């Protein structure tokens, strides 16, 4: 029986991927190359340091560890400037109604995000109080597709892994759920999220009962 829902943040609750992309693109441009929106797909659910490595490899740029720390810090400052404009209008379609539905059940709500900025973003958009537990980038050492983020989520909720259901928009995130032994609801396109147990474009109009009967 499913007792807990573990939500990814970026791409499921709020659309911060565009701000990550803009900040990484600015950094790449300063280094003399560009990154496409298609390339940005590969960075979804991937930690800041791992994303930087992937981008530098893509641009064929080799840098010292010191310079990498400097660039990751700069990118985060640009990202924070962009997200500081966010309001509750940036919450993705269907989320407030879906959370209302959850409140009518005994299901607990957890966050499973790789982002170190997750709490700040949830506060900005006024959703932080909806969560029973929060696992973010400050609590984990391995990014998705490693299952750590979701295993810690189950542990903090005090549920077994198979009692938790993950909501994810990233291929790496669905893999992390599977690696944790959990079923996963994909948010996005079925042709991309092939490992998800069920896929919806977003949670608008989706009934909890319908999900639980499908997976
Ligand atoms: P930060 P999620 C992930 O969030 C993003 O998808 C990914 O693009 C980002 O690099 C990562 O968080 C780290 O974010 O730089 O804020 O610590 O999808 O796991 O909610
Ligand atoms: Mg995501």
In the chain, % of residues over pLDDT 70: 100
At 134, give phi and psi (nearest 5°).
Answer: -130, 120
Q: Both tokens of residue 94?
A: 């269907």
Burial 166-196 (b: 16+ CB within 10 A, else e): bbbbbbbbbbbbbebebbbbbbbeeeebeeb
Counting ligand 1 atoms within 8 A of each CB, the residue from 115, 121, 153 with the most, and so the one to mutate, is 115
pLDDT band at 143 (very low <50, low <70, confident <90, very high): very high
- 184/207 Cα distance (integer angstroms): 15
- How far apart are the CA of 213 and the centre of ligand 1, in A? 31
Categorise residue 34: left if φ over 0, alpha if ψ from -120 to 50, beta otherwise: beta
Cα dist from 110 to 2, 31, 79, 144, whole Å = 13, 38, 24, 16
Overall average pLDDT of the 126-147 stretch = 97
Average pLDDT, the chain: 97
Q: Which CATH class is domain 4-15+88-214?
A: alpha beta
Overall average pLDDT of the 184-200 stretch = 97
pLDDT band at 135 (very low <50, low <70, confident <90, very high): very high
Where, residue-wise, is CATH 1.10.150.240 in the chain? 17-83
CB within 8 Å of 21: residues ≥ 6 apart:
35, 37, 40, 43
pLDDT band at 2 (very low <50, low <70, confident <90, very high): very high
State the pLDDT at residue 138. Answer: 97
Task: Please tell me whether residue 188 adopts helix, strand or coil conformation.
Answer: coil
- Residue 129 is a catalytic residue: no
Overall average pLDDT of the 122-144 stretch = 96
Adjacent-strand bridge partners of 186: 168, 199
Q: What is the pLDDT of residues 52-102, one digit of tens each?
A: 999 999 999 999 999 999 999 999 999 999 999 999 999 999 999 999 999
How many angstroms from the chain centroid is the CA of residue 187?
Answer: 11
Which CATH superfamily includes the segment(s) 17-83?
Answer: Putative phosphatase; domain 2 (1.10.150.240)
Adjacent-strand bridge partners of 134: 111
State the pLDDT at residue 35. Answer: 98
Where, residue-wise, is CATH 3.40.50.1000 in the chain? 4-15+88-214
State the pLDDT at residue 170. Answer: 93
State the pLDDT at residue 149. Answer: 98
- Residue 10 is a catalytic residue: yes
State the pLDDT at residue 198. Answer: 98
State the pLDDT at residue 161. Answer: 98
Task: Give all strands (DSSP E) within 37-174, no chain letters.
Answer: 108-112, 133-135, 164-168
Nearest to 47 by CA among 108, 100, 114, 101: 114
DSSP code at position 47: -
> Residue 14: CB within 6 Å of ligand 1?
no
């Amino acid at each position: 029986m499913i007792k807990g829902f573990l939500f990814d943040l970026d791409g499921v609750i709020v659309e911060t991927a565009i701000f990550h992309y803009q900040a990484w693109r600015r950094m790449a441009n300063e280094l003399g190359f560009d990154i496409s929106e298609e390339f940005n797909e590969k960075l979804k659910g991937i930690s800041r340091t791992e994303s930087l490595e992937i981008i530098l490899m893509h641009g064929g740029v080799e840098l010292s560890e010191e310079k990498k720390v400097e660039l990751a810090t700069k990118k985060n400052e640009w990202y924070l400037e962009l997200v500081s404009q966010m309001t509750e209008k940036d919450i993705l379609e269907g989320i407030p109604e879906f959370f209302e539905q959850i409140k009518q059940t005994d299901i607990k709500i957890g966050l499973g995000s790789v982002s170190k900025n997750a709490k700040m973003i949830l506060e900005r958009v006024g959703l932080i109080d909806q969560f029973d537990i929060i696992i973010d980038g400050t609590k984990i050492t391995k990014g998705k597709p490693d299952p750590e983020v979701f295993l810690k989520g189950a542990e903090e909720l005090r549920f077994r892994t198979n009692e938790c259901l993950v909501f994810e928009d990233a291929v790496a995130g669905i893999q992390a759920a599977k690696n944790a032994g959990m079923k996963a609801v994909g948010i996005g396109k079925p042709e991309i999220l092939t490992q998800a147990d069920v896929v919806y474009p977003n949670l608008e109009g989706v009934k909890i009962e319908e999900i639980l009967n499908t997976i």
